[in-house]
Amino acid sequence: MNSKRRNFRLTFAVAAVFLTAILLLLVNVTGNLRGVRVDMTSDGLFTMTPAAVNILQELPVPVQVKLYITPVDKMPTRLRNLERDITEQLRNFEQVSQGMIEFSVHDPQDDAQMQQELAAKGIQPFQIQSVEKDEIGVKLIWSALTIAYKDKPEEILPQVLPQSLAALEQDIIGPIHRLTRERTPRVAYFGPQKVMDPQMAMMYMQQGMQPPAPQDQFTMIGELLGQGHYEAVPVQLTADSTVPDDVDLLIVMGLAALNERQVWEINQTLIRGVPVIMGVQAHEYDYSPARTGGWTVSGRAVGSGLEPMLEFFGLGVGHDHFMDTSMETIDLPREVNLGGLRMQTREPVRLPMQIRVTESQMLQDSPLVNRIGSLFYLWGTPVRPQPARLAKYDLLATGLINSSPRSWETPWQDGPMLPSAFDPPSDGADGSAPLAVLVAGQFPDSFVDSGVPDWPTAAGADTLDPETAGQPTATADPRPGQLLVIGSAKMFDDNIIQAPQNALLLLNAVDYLVGSRDLLAIRAKILTRRVIRPVTDTEKLVWRVVVVLLVPVLLAGYGFVRAGVRRREAAAYRQMVRRTGATRKEV
């Protein structure tokens, strides 16, 4: 018995040691294997786009990516997986690029020299709320990325947090693409300055004061182009500031009347194949507080001067009041009297010419507008292609953005508008209308019959500049080009461009027309802003009926049915009892 017991113990010990060795071997082997991640997001946010793969695989020389991050044991609890999540994506980039992405992780927490070097680059630690057991505090942490290529200035991502991981591909691959391209695209842009109303300027002069200088309305466009790593070239479209020959794109914001020579310069730019983005504004509106409450709205015709050229191409720009039941709200300042004290407040205003465009109204097959959730189309008008005219010049038009089916137009008139002008027509809306159209082909010369106009002495003046009048002007060599026409320039001015995703639309258009479509494909992978579509009054009424009446009616109906079933069951039971009693009596 003792011999059997010793043999059993020996066998058990040998088996335990053997199994332990096997487990250690498996842990060691599987520990070196890379984990498998499955992207469960509907937008595929954690799956690399083919454009990103192409950029990484075509890198000519290595790119250095450095992650500066606080160690895991010093991170707040909710950020302890941050380093792992970032390095997993960087490791994926390294693998796809076949080693051309070289990344490293650094801890600047206790390294004073490294902290000084990072501060010189504009990288600083930042505060994060920390919850540890039963204590709430604030921790100072580091989480930043630098991207270096050759001797070019480093690209900096000063803060990388969990909420920015979905856009990490864009934040890293975008700068890599811009750093590795041989030439920075040049984008010229024109936006008229805002001139003070003549009556107001006269009041200034009567009081012995000089009227304020004209103000730029589109400075944000230049800043946006700089953020996209384009070389922004502002032009005034004058004899001394024309469109440079070496630009890759021209942006024109038609918020004031252009003279014929300015229009001719734009036409020549199109003829020589340079893409053009054009915002055309037909009119503006002035809001003033009404004495009885509410607001008085006055229409004011603007006219860009571009309409005849666009009509020549086959694009008609609307000039009537254009409205839509899909509206956006704006806040306007208003002075109120409270107990004898005048105070400035802001009042929300919701009117049908403040149009909201949602994702369902955009051409989702086009990367130019794909993944844009909403736009603020302020005081715009439709841009209607004319197929016969376009076909005459072999121009192909593609509608990108439309109004909702509940839009309508009313005849234009300057001055104050009646409140009834904002009500939809009794005979129904006019239906959906095109708001942005992309035209491609060889553009014709709209001045072929009138000749080259001369420069006036000043923009909008009637007299010609004697120094340039009559001078011969070389015409452009024809090349196919592209023109994006949007029926609103106001949506891109400094006050509105950041509303919803107007800036994203403009940057997408620049990327698409300049040729940086890889960047556009990567940017399109950002998290889509889901916008709840506007609900009509009829739909609201139906849902009220369903919630208030239908549910109680269904419950009451179920009660009546259940009561009827129970009555039938009771009657059947009583009948069975009677039969049973009669049978017992017979027995």
My answer on whether 26 and 85 are in the same domain is no
Burial of 314 (0-12, 13-18, 19+ CB in 10 A): buried
Distance CA 482, CA 180 (A): 26
Tell me which range, 336-350, 440-454, 495-509, is most confidently predicted by mean pLDDT: 440-454
Distances (CA, A) of 391 to 60, 313, 397, 474: 44, 10, 10, 28
Among 180, 211, 235, the domain boundary falls at 180
Residue 578 in domain: no
My answer on whether 23 and 123 are in the same domain is no
Residue 114 in domain: yes
My answer on whether 495 and 562 are in the same domain is no
Our separate counts of H helices and E strands in the chain read 14, 23
Question: What integer is the mean pLDDT of 242-247?
Answer: 94
Q: What is the pLDDT of residue 541?
A: 84
pLDDT-based confidence at 305, cuts 50/70/90? very high
pLDDT at 432 over 90: yes
Question: What integer is the mean pLDDT of 36-40?
Answer: 63
Question: What integer is the mean pLDDT of 228-243?
Answer: 92
Of the candidates 288, 196, 189, the residue with the CA atom closest to the CA atom of residue 235: 189
Q: In CATH, what number is assigned to the domain containing residue 171?
A: 3.40.30
pLDDT at 194 over 90: no
My answer on whether 311 and 344 are in the same domain is yes
Share of the chain above pLDDT 90, in %: 48
My answer on whether 342 and 403 are in the same domain is yes
Burial of 419 (0-12, 13-18, 19+ CB in 10 A): exposed
Residue 147 in domain: yes
Residue 368 in domain: yes
My answer on whether 282 and 399 are in the same domain is yes
Residue 475 in domain: yes
Residue 45 in domain: no
Q: What is the pLDDT of residue 319?
A: 92
Q: Indicate the average pLDDT of the chain.
A: 86
Q: What is the pLDDT of residue 528?
A: 55
Among 125, 152, 180, the domain boundary falls at 180
Q: What is the pLDDT of residue 463?
A: 52
Q: What contacts 333, CB < 8 A, 6 or more positions away?
A: 344, 345, 346, 347
Q: What is the pLDDT of residue 459?
A: 44
My answer on whether 335 and 461 are in the same domain is yes
Q: Which residues of 163-184 are buried (b: 16+ CB within 10 A; e: fewer)?
A: eebebbbbbbbbbbbbbbeeee
My answer on whether 549 and 473 are in the same domain is no
My answer on whether 426 and 555 are in the same domain is no
Residue 259 in domain: yes
My answer on whether 197 and 288 are in the same domain is yes
Domain count, the chain: 4
Q: What is the pLDDT of residue 460?
A: 45
pLDDT at 439 over 50: yes
For residue 459, what are the domain limits? Answer: 193-515
My answer on whether 344 and 376 are in the same domain is yes
pLDDT-based confidence at 522, cuts 50/70/90? confident
**Which residue did the predictor score with more confidence, 185 or 429?**
185
Question: What integer is the mean pLDDT of 209-233?
Answer: 87
Separation of first and last alpha carbons in the chain? 78
Residue with tokens 């009227």: 211
Least confident of 16-20, 301-305, 362-366, 542-546: 542-546
* Rg (the chain; Cα; Å): 34
My answer on whether 332 and 370 are in the same domain is yes
Distance CA 519, CA 180 (A): 13
pLDDT-based confidence at 472, cuts 50/70/90? very low
Question: Which pTM was predicted?
Answer: 0.75
Among 139, 154, 180, the domain boundary falls at 180
Residue 362 in domain: yes
